Amino acid sequence: MDTEQLYTYLERSITERHLAGDKAQLAKLQTACGVVMAAANDAGAAALAKRFQILAARAANLAEKLTDKGAR
What are the pLDDT digits (tens) for 5-50?
999 999 999 999 999 999 999 999 999 999 999 999 999 999 999 9
Q: What is the pTM of this model?
A: 0.91
Angle, vertex CA 65, rays to CA 61 and CA 68, nearest 5: 135
- Listed in sequence order, the DSSP H helices in 1-72 are 3-20, 23-42, 46-71
- Report the pLDDT value the prediction gives residue 69, as an integer from 0 to 100: 74
| Stretch 46-62: mean pLDDT | 98
Domain ranges of the chain: 3-71
